[in-house]
Amino acid sequence: MPVAKLTADGQIVIPDEIRNLLGLLPGDSILIEPSGSVAVISRIEPNSTAPPDSELQQSINRKNLETPIQYIKGVGPKLAGILAKKGIATVEDALYLLPIRYEDRRELRKVAGLRPGCTEVFHARVISAGPASTKGGRRFYEAVVGDDTGTIVLKWFNFNPRYMKGVWQPGKKGIFTGEVSQFGLQREIHHPDVDWIAEGRELAAIMAADPVNFGRTVPVYPLTEGLNQKTMRKVLKEVVDNFSCDLYSCLPPELMTRYGLLPVDKAVREAHFPDNAADLRALNDWSTPAHRTLSFDEFFYLELGLALKKHGTAIDEGIPFKVTHKYTRQLLKMLPYSLTDAQRRVLTEIKNDMSAAHPMHRLVQGDVGSGKTIVALLAALLAVENDYQVAIMAPTEILAEQHYLNIHRYCDELGIHACLVTSGLKGKAKIGILEDISSGKFQIVVGTHAVIQEKVEFARLGLGIIDEQHRFGVLQRGSLKKKGQNPDILVMTATPIPRTLAMTVFGDLSLSVIDELPPGRTPVTTRICNESQRQRVYGIVRDEVRKGRQAYIIYPLVEESGKSELKAASQMAEHLAHEVFSDLRIGLLHGRMKPEEKEAVMRSFKACETDILVSTTVIEVGIDVPNATVMVIEHAERFGLSQLHQLRGRVGRGSNQSRCVLLAGWKLTADAEKRLHVMEGTADGFAIAEADLEIRGPGDFLGTRQAGLPEFRVANIFRDGAILEQARKEAFSIIGRDPALSSPENISMRRELLRRWGGRLELAGIA
């Protein structure tokens, strides 16, 4: 009798005799049930419904979904290598690579009925073909095809003449697909797809023989070099038909009924190969029940994880800080201004959190110049008053240095020891600082991600403050937390983050918004200028200085490189000092200077000993000079929207009218033009953030490969904001009722949550 053996690494090897007996194929599911001293192996028929909470069944399904794509019929190693470029390594990857759009191929149109602006499918014969040129001399290949109702022109602008001549022979018949354009009276299709019809074959027979590509609503997939739509559809049809039944979601039935959701396996099938009755517009808008189901499913499990984290924080034992005012009251007396009502409100929220018996996890959002740094320092002093240490972490050395420069002046006066820790710290100086941190001598430690390295040990860390959190991930936040015994965590950002994005990246944090600027601020007038207006821009700067004001001129680089046409700060500072503003005092500030050099330059500018400060983006945050009323940003098209908004925030800090000039190069991309016009049109940080998110998309909005941004395979936070709200509400409601997901109906959901998000959200504690 054939025997299935268990290998040392826990895998079951099934002999050919058993596979043949059961008729097993790659991707088939099997059920192994103990029976006395042996086990009975049986084949699970596709779409069979084992109990959804069966751990064994889920394990079988999971194993099937992990099948490498190269073992799917018609793939093999070479095609698998190409598919890997699209992120498809397994069957599950393929199931979630959804079409980017859909084409109506239910019937072939006559040539006379082809509609401009639509992707059409039609049957025609090649009438003529050959190379041609535009009036400007640009070469292209042109073919005229037609049927008994008319003709249409096909064009290619990238082509191999020998190949095209061999393929595009007059008299050949084919099925053509492409988007129809109208130029004057002539209709054209550029770079169409074609399926040639062999001599003697009937059109109806060809269409019947290829039901994946014709006679239906056809999916159009994202491709990479070496792939075409036909191959992609063939592979995906094979995968969807044989493996979609292995998908499961475990969403509660009442929730699915409430929102009209489908079983996830059915949703995947309908999203890939929709029924011919499906609404084409809804398909292309991703608003069908299938698309909504898959988006909801993704959002739901992320929000479930965030809800679990938030609840976990609420039950953890934290540090109940006492408000003594030992340092905070002194600092408030030292400030040359009073706090705004918004700052006071947010401080009250922070104090209430820090006084509680559970750890604080709070996000403070505040637009440029709203005074987040002072709020953070007051929170830090509250921890220091209780004999605890504070870690302040920023994403770059420049930001860390600026926070240190702003903070240590106050700390020195208060008798508090603060230090700066960056990756540039070496040798004896580093050893000395690390010893003083571990002994508790340094009460406030400012630094980059170097603060969370293993060698940095705190005596009593009570508060972690993270600036510009969107550049850090959830795991870095967790690493900082592990430096103490459940310290409070305060997260700050000057980048206004749209609500949908905040719900996905910071969904486990309580939110405070400093929505008020300090009194006396004036709106900043913003204007786009080009190179031809440079002298007029210099005139604006000179006029402001003549009035006793000061100016910033910002450049994207420190020094010019041979490869770049961009103007650079060092060379331009010399040029401006000698040839443009020789009678004025010019200062230079950039990131390569030592902290003490930067501090001296900024101190000089603040004391009005410098008229014009030439700088790189090092001044993006932290400088407060009310007398500076004009900012010129060179090569403004090279900056992102949030960075432009941050830079502009350095002016308009006093009562005098301020202006920002965006000096742009001659050639602008469409996105660059959009960005500059957004800046010219509004000063509202949230409106700018929404526009930035729309132009760049979530990934680039937060910075490339940003560890804190979840990677969604289907859902889109910009398009599916309403679905995200629903998913969040339901997820938090479930955790409110069952905080550990331990009830029988939630066990499967808990397992699926851990599989998807356990490591990335640090949920291992619930496993």
Q: Determine the Cα–Cα distance for residues 184 and 181; give it in Å rounded to an integer.
A: 10
**pLDDT bracket for residue 79 (50, 70, 90):** very high
Residue 602 burial class via C-beta count within 10 angstroms: exposed 0-12, middle 13-18, buried 19 and up: buried
- Sequence-distant (6+) residues with CB within 8 A of 117 are 179, 180, 181, 182
pLDDT of amino acid 386:
96
**Rounded to whole angstroms, how far apart are CA atoms 588 and 221?**
51
**CA pair distance 761, 763, nearest whole angstrom:** 5
Find the length of the chain: 767
Query: Do the Cβ atoms of 7 and 48 come closer than 8 Å?
Result: no
Contacts made by residues 373-376, CB under 8 angstroms, sequence distance 24+ = 373/403, 373/406, 373/407, 373/622, 374/335, 374/339, 374/343, 375/343, 375/346, 375/347, 375/350, 375/514, 376/465, 376/467, 376/490, 376/492
Other CB atoms within 10 Å distance of the CB of residue 486: 16
Please measure the distance between the N-terminal and C-terminal CA atoms of the chain and give it in whole angstroms: 40
The torsion angles phi and psi of 203, rounded to 5 degrees, stand at -60, -45
pLDDT confidence of residue 650: 86
Strands 550-554 and 612-615: parallel
What amino acid is encoded at 264 in this protein? V
Report which of residues 441 and 31 the model is more confident about: 441
Whether 52 shows a pLDDT value over 50: the answer reads no
pLDDT range class, residue 755, cuts 50, 70, 90:
confident
Residue of higher predicted confidence among 695 and 418? 418
Here the tokens at position 603 are: 């101190």
Residues whose CB is less than 8 angstroms from the CB of residue 29 and which lie 6 or more positions away in sequence, other chains included: 43, 44, 46, 60, 61, 64, 246
Neighbours of 706 (CB within 10 A): 16
Question: How far is 140 from 647, CA to CA, in rounded Å?
Answer: 46
> What integer pLDDT is reported at residue 766 of this predicted model?
46
Q: Quick one: average pLDDT of 46-63? A: 64
In 3D space, the residue among 370, 382, 368 whose CA is nearest the CA of residue 331 turns out to be 382
Residue 521, both tokens: 């601020």
Find all residues with CB under 8 Å of 92, minimum gap 6, and list them.
65, 66, 243, 247
Q: Say which residues have a Cβ less than 8 Å from residue 479's Cβ, sequence separation at least 6.
A: 452
pLDDT at 549 over 60: yes
Return the pLDDT at 54. 64
CB 460 within 8 A of CB 388: yes
Q: Give yes or no for residue 296 having a pLDDT over 90.
A: yes
Residue listed under structure tokens 């073992």 = 71
Q: Is the pLDDT of residue 4 over 90?
A: no
Q: Which residues of 77-192 form beta strands (DSSP E)?
A: 101-104, 119-133, 139-147, 150-156, 173-183, 186-190
What is the token pair recorded at 291?
């698309």
Query: Residue 577 carries which DSSP code?
Result: I
Nearest to 630 by CA among 688, 710, 547, 687: 547
Helix (H, G, I), strand (E, B) or coil at 448: coil
- Mean pLDDT to the nearest integer, 453-482: 79
Token pair recorded at residue 1: 């009798």
CA atoms within 13 A on the CB side of 430: 13
Q: Is the pLDDT of residue 565 over 60?
A: no
Q: Which two tokens stand for residue 139?
A: 């070469």
Of 309, 646, 593, the closest CA to residue 471 belongs to 646
Q: Which of 74, 77, 80 is nearest to 93 (CA)?
A: 80
pLDDT of residue 622: 55
Task: Quote the DSSP letter at residue 252.
Answer: -
Calculate mean pLDDT across residues 199-206: 80
- For residues 413 and 429, what is the distance between their CA atoms, to the nearest angstrom? 23
Higher pLDDT, 40 or 351: 351
pLDDT digits (tens, 9 = 90+) for 651-662: 888 888 999 999
Q: Is the pLDDT of residue 521 over 60?
A: yes
Q: Which of 44-58, 181-195, 293-307, 342-356 is least confident?
A: 44-58
Write down the pTM of the prediction. 0.67
Q: What is the pLDDT of residue 47?
A: 44
| Confidence grade of residue 57 (pLDDT, cut at 50, 70, 90) | confident
Distance CA 521, CA 587 (A): 25
User: What stretch of H or E contains 540?
Assistant: helix 534-546
Q: What is the pLDDT of residues 379-411, one digit of tens each?
A: 999 999 999 999 999 877 777 887 888 888 899
Question: What percentage of the chain has pLDDT greater than the value 90?
Answer: 44
Which pLDDT score is estimated for 661?
96
Q: Where do the domains of the chain lie, and which CATH numbers do they carry?
A: 5-45 (2.10.260), 107-215 (2.40.50.140), 328-514 (3.40.50.300), 524-682 (3.40.50.300)
pLDDT at res. 38: 62
In sequence order, what are the beta bridge partners of 123?
A: 175
3-class DSSP assignment, residue 557: strand
Range with the poorest average pLDDT among 593-597, 703-707, 730-734: 703-707
DSSP secondary structure string, 290-316?
HHHHHHHHHHHHHHHHHHHHHHHHHHS
pLDDT at site 23: 55
